[in-house]
Amino acid sequence: MLFAPVPRMMPSAAAVDCPDVEVIFARGTSEPPGVGRVGQALVDSLRQQTGLNVDAYGVKYPAGKLQLGGGDGANDTISRVKDVVQACPNTKIVLGGYSQGASVMDIVAGVPVGGVTWGSSLPPQYVDNIAALATFGNIADRSGSPISSQSQLLGSKAIDLCNPGDPICHAGPGNEWSDHTDGYVPTYTTQAATFIAAKLLTAGASSVPGRARCPARPRRWDRVRPWDPTSRRLAPGNAWVGVSDRSGMSFRPASGLLGLLTAAALAIPPFALIPPAHAASCPDVQVVFARGRLEPAGTGQIGTALVSALRSRVSGKNIGVYPVNYAANADVVRGANDMSGHIQYMANTCPDTRLVLGGYSLGAAVTDVVLAAPGPMLGFTNPLPPGADEHIAAVALFGNGTQWVGPITTFNPIYNDRTIELCHGADPVCNPADPKTWSNNWPEHLAPAYIKAGMVDQAADFVAGKL
């Protein structure tokens, strides 16, 4: 698709729709105008993971074999950033490039390969508008100068991805040209989208998917049509894996779960104002556990094992169990609403009961939303009110995909000293590794592997210590 440039003077009197996110992407050498194959795959994955309204803009530059258009591409990128900021100041911008397009982004980031002087770097006043930057097959990686480590402007927001067999970005034997031309979709584009979704969290992307009310822009701004939210799906696997397993099921990173956590905190009534109800009998401890994807209703294999192990370690206490009520297919938000609602119910009716939260795989993602969401957003309508955390004694998570971007306590440090996150061996859901190994390592994610490895017992020891 050809993307028309926005005129320098953009009308601002009337309000029009603005995207939550715009991806400005520079295509590779000799690709037709637009965002190119890698750019389109990145945009598609980002839409699928976050549920946000994501537009795309193809950087206008020659992308010829002589590789002399990088400066033009950098200048067009910066012009586009300025236009978006002027017309849609709440839109978060993602920069990206593949192959020669990655070199365009090197210039924008202020670290041009070989110290070339053509083209401009991004003016510092626009850095805060950039949520993330992703490059694929960047020759700068071969020389040890990736944006992520060299750019003072955008290094902290950047991910540089190089297929190990790509001769453009990887020095060494065994390289194949096909690893450069065909080696980035979908594995690395999915990984980049996961990274970007997490950055959108810290950048404060729109809390409601759709379009914000922003200053007008010309109707001739051609753009990729927004992804239809009616077809939205979260990861159809046990969450978080971007590869097909041997059964043919496809897995994608479900960091859209983190994309849910991008809103600023909304005003919530203080927890103390919730009127107390009259409880009949209350357990000393209750384990609130969200099972993994496609496990039958209940707490699942790991949840059941955790409760059993905990009972053997905590004598003299009555330990109750509440299995989170959700379909465990892809509906993380429904599970999060149910878990949060039950926590509030227990705090209201059984204020002396110590709650233990837990989740495995998709269930860990459910718990992530409950603990990290600062307010209602994207279907999550029941956030924990202030003071609810005082009733939570411990949190135990297994095979949690947020470990790709850091522990869940990164997003809510209040639970830092009472949370244990366990990742078994090479479990590709929670252990970042060479994507080529994900399919073979999938058994490491399965519940029996965690139980056999003693990780449920390890979690029970931790939780017992908190009780």
Predicted confidence at residue 240, as pLDDT, reads 31
Among 21-30, 144-153, 279-288, 396-405, top mean pLDDT goes to: 21-30
Among 46-50, 172-176, 237-241, 400-404, top mean pLDDT goes to: 46-50
Q: Mean pLDDT across the stretch 248-252? A: 31
- Which amino acid, 172? G
pLDDT band for position 138 (cuts 50, 70, 90): very high
Is the pLDDT at 229 greater than 70, yes or no? no
Is the pLDDT at 433 greater than 60, yes or no? yes
Among 38, 99, 19, 28, smallest CA distance to 61 is for: 28
Predicted confidence at residue 358, as pLDDT, reads 96
Predicted confidence at residue 407, as pLDDT, reads 66
Lowest mean pLDDT among 26-40, 148-162, 191-205, 214-228: 214-228
Q: Mean pLDDT across the stretch 285-291? A: 95
439 as an active site residue: the answer is: no
Predicted confidence at residue 382, as pLDDT, reads 87
- H or E segment to which residue 95 belongs: strand 92-98
**What's the mean per-residue pLDDT of the chain?**
77
Query: What percentage of the chain carries pLDDT values higher than 90?
Result: 43
Pairwise pLDDT comparison (211 vs 64), residue with the higher score:
64
Lowest mean pLDDT among 44-58, 202-216, 244-258: 244-258
Predicted confidence at residue 316, as pLDDT, reads 84
User: How far is it, in rounded angstroms, from Cα 196 to Cα 60?
Assistant: 23
Pairwise pLDDT comparison (11 vs 289), residue with the higher score:
289
Map residue 337 onto helix, strand or coil. Answer: helix
Pairwise pLDDT comparison (51 vs 210), residue with the higher score:
51
Tokens found for residue 308: 């059993």
Choosing from 361, 368, 391, 424, the catalytic residue is 361
Asked if residues 357 and 288 have their Cβ atoms less than 8 Å apart, the reply is yes
**In order of start, what are the domains of the chain with their CATH numbers?**
21-203 (3.40.50.1820), 285-465 (3.40.50.1820)
424 as an active site residue: the answer is: no
User: How far is it, in rounded angstroms, from Cα 27 to Cα 113?
Assistant: 17
Asked if residues 301 and 295 have their Cβ atoms less than 8 Å apart, the reply is yes
Asked if residues 27 and 59 have their Cβ atoms less than 8 Å apart, the reply is yes
Q: Mean pLDDT across the stretch 9-28? A: 72
Contacts of 182 (CB under 8 A, 6+ apart): none
Is the pLDDT at 249 greater than 60, yes or no? no
Asked if residues 377 and 260 have their Cβ atoms less than 8 Å apart, the reply is yes
User: How far is it, in rounded angstroms, from Cα 273 to Cα 52?
Assistant: 34
Among 36-45, 110-119, 172-181, 368-377, top mean pLDDT goes to: 36-45
pLDDT band for position 466 (cuts 50, 70, 90): very high
Q: Mean pLDDT across the stretch 443-450? A: 89
Q: Mean pLDDT across the stretch 130-139? A: 95
Query: What percentage of the chain carries pLDDT values higher than 70?
Result: 75
Supply angle C-alpha 38, 441, 190, rounded to 5: 20
Q: Mean pLDDT across the stretch 198-227? A: 46
The separation between CA 190 and the C-alpha centre of its own chain, rounded to angstroms, equals 10
457 as an active site residue: the answer is: no
pLDDT band for position 410 (cuts 50, 70, 90): low
pLDDT tens digits for range 72-107 = 999 999 999 999 999 999 999 999 999 999 999 999
Predicted confidence at residue 112, as pLDDT, reads 77
Q: Which residues of 173-202 are buried (b: 16+ CB within 10 A; e: fewer)?
A: eebeeebbbebbbbbbbbbbbbbbbbbbbb
Is the pLDDT at 219 greater than 50, yes or no? no
Predicted confidence at residue 5, as pLDDT, reads 36
Predicted confidence at residue 68, as pLDDT, reads 72
